[in-house]
Chain A
Amino acid sequence: MRLATREAFTGFRKAPLLSTLGILTIAFSLFAFGLFALVALNIRNALRTVEERVEIRAFVADGTSPEAISTAMGDIGSFPEVLRVTYVSPEEGLVRAKKEMSEFSDVFESEFLPGSMDIRLRPGFRDPTTVKAVAERAGTYEFVDDIGYGQEWVENLYKLRTLATFAGLALGAAFALVAVIIIGATIRTAVLARSREIAIMRLVGATDGFVRLPFLIDGFVKGVLGGLLALGMTWFASETISRSMIRTEFFDTRVAVLGVIAGALIGLLGSLFSVGRHLKEV
């Protein structure tokens, strides 16, 4: 292990330009991925805030007895998906409508709006299917005139989030693949540059694992350095955007560590594929 580590660093020393280039390419690949991940993270955060406002409004017919409403609220409140149910009287509805749509406040009059049961769902139950199912169940009460939950809006919200997640995963996989190929190419050059040494190692009885180890360490170290550099660049980009444009959220420590581990894995995988293939040529 000691010799392998020494050999790996000798590789760095012997070809500093190539090694730096390898690290930079991993860093830029991960940086591009990191930027997209940052965008996806912030979109998801924004969506989560919007999602928290998902609400079902069951409008109650005029003249419904408070007992019937109270019983219905108790029933609905016991649904496992439901966080809470609030009754909004016509007066409260008017105040809220004036507040939410202040530009039309002069057209609202007393008793203009019916009373409603506002149903909030638990986190994890705010997807379109659940929202629709709960809305339909709430609509089965005879005194419920109408149900509103912005079906289209909820569905579009979810489509956007799914799209962001899949685009992030697809782009991430593509960038990771590019980084693996690039690391593979730098390792290939290193293997060929050290072909004489490798041939001698084999002649004197070094095992394949032993011959491979320095290159794997090389790829791993390059991956870690590239990952750290990418993390620094992404942080800098995030800070710059936060200061000059809109406030953004950065990855938490766990995700940052995972990013560096991803860099290490990319370096290791690139080395593994490349060494396996090119050692046979030496």
Chain B
Amino acid sequence: MIKFQGVGKEYPRTGIALSHITFHVRKGEFVFLTGPSGSGKSTILKLVFMEEKPSHGDVRVSGVSGRGASRREIAKLRRKLGIVFQDFRLLEDRNAEANVAFALEVTDTPKAAIQPRVHRVLAQVGLASKATSFPRELSGGEQQRVAIARALVNDPFILIADEPTGNLDDRATRGIFQLLRDINSTGTAVVMATHDLDLVRRADCRVIELNHGRIVYDSAETPVGAPEPEPGRAPTGDTA
């Protein structure tokens, strides 16, 4: 579903962001990407939704190659990906319903199909009663739920979440995480970048830990020569 094969990414100004990244994410998996700031978590996610192209190696998402995909192919691929960010990225002048509908309108979904789908996902994220509220009238957790509803409305096979709980308090964080688990339980793969080690420890999910642009730990694989991780081992590294 997602295949990173020997991927490296270099930027002209800041230098090497990722090197020798190889991992696969299978259908329906829930994967945490952890690591300190600047370790390459967001770059990996950008490579998944093809905002960036790899400098070395290849990234394949649902068969589409990150090296050779045309802009049109990337647009089509993104319709099958749900993307969520720490800062929600909602349109302030549109209510929750319109924000979610926006994702369908820009992909030429027939008008008659939009309303039922929007209502379904808003109910799924627990915001059916706040459909007409504007982002400024919603709490951080609720805004993130709207963003998740927008990501879900196209029935994605992968949900990409870049620090989705970074701006939320504990209670809201737990709510959003549970929502992501529920979504995952329906068969949607979730790749979530996070600093929140407590959250990672509590969940029984695959963990990929990055440091200085390299994978230093992948709970699904044991690197050759590395000691077996202890059961329930939390990833190491500075997560400040």
Contact = CB atoms under 8 A, between A and B. Distances in A.
B224 interface: no
A207 B91 contact: no
Contacts of A206: 75, 106-107
A148 to B, nearest CB: 71
Interface in A1-43: 3
Contacts of B102: 200-201, 204
Interface in A185-200: 196-197, 199-200
A196 B89 contact: yes
Contacts of B105: 3
A200 B75 contact: no
Interface string A142-154: 0000000000000
B67 interface: no
Contacts, number: 48
Nearest to A206: B106
A210 B76 CA distance: 12
A159 interface: no
A208 B71 contact: yes
A196 B93 CA distance: 12
B107 A204 contact: yes
Interface in B59-79: 71-72, 75-79
Interface residues of B, number: 21
Contacts of B154: 204-205
B83 A203 contact: yes
B3 interface: no
B103 A204 contact: yes
A3 B80 CA distance: 21
Given A3-B105, A3-B106, A210-B106, A204 B78 contact: yes
A48 interface: no
B7 to A, nearest CB: 21
Interface string B82-98: 01000001010000000
B150 interface: yes
A102 B77 CA distance: 89
B77 to A, nearest CB: 8
Contacts of A3: 105-106
A206 B76 CA distance: 8
A27 B191 CA distance: 53
> By CB atoms of chain B within 10 A, which of A196, A204, A206, A207 has the most?
A204
A99 interface: no
A3 B108 CA distance: 9
B91 A196 contact: yes
A254 to B, nearest CB: 38
A138 to B, nearest CB: 70
